[in-house]
Amino acid sequence: MFRQTEEGRARMLASDREKLAALEPGGTAERPIDVVSSPVIDIRAKAMPCLRCQGEVNLEEQTAEMVDGKSLRLAHLTCVRCGSKRKVWFRITSPLPN
């Protein structure tokens, strides 16, 4: 019985983390993470832990998407530990002049 309660709490916590991530930068196309180049997306995406188990993620692919006339990048991540999938939105911006 204790184990079921513990597993239930873990599932609820993971679900709550996923809901919160949708509100953070990168969680939706309306709130992409600004980066200066495509290689930076690879680095930033791989550094994000899994929302479910906090494990390491693999960047499966990076796709270009048009949303409301804006060009965005979508990083498709998969956790190496639990297999959970996640999508993170990015926008490539020009670097600021010095």
61-98 core/surface letters (b: 16 or more CB in 10 A; e: else): ebeeeeeeeeebbbbbbebeeeebebebbbbbeeeeee
| Model pLDDT, residue 59 | 97
| Model pLDDT, residue 45 | 96
**pTM of the complete model:** 0.81
> Tens-digit pLDDT profile for the chain (98 aa)?
455 688 778 778 777 777 777 788 999 999 999 999 999 999 999 999 998 889 999 999 999 999 999 999 999 999 999 999 999 999 999 766 65
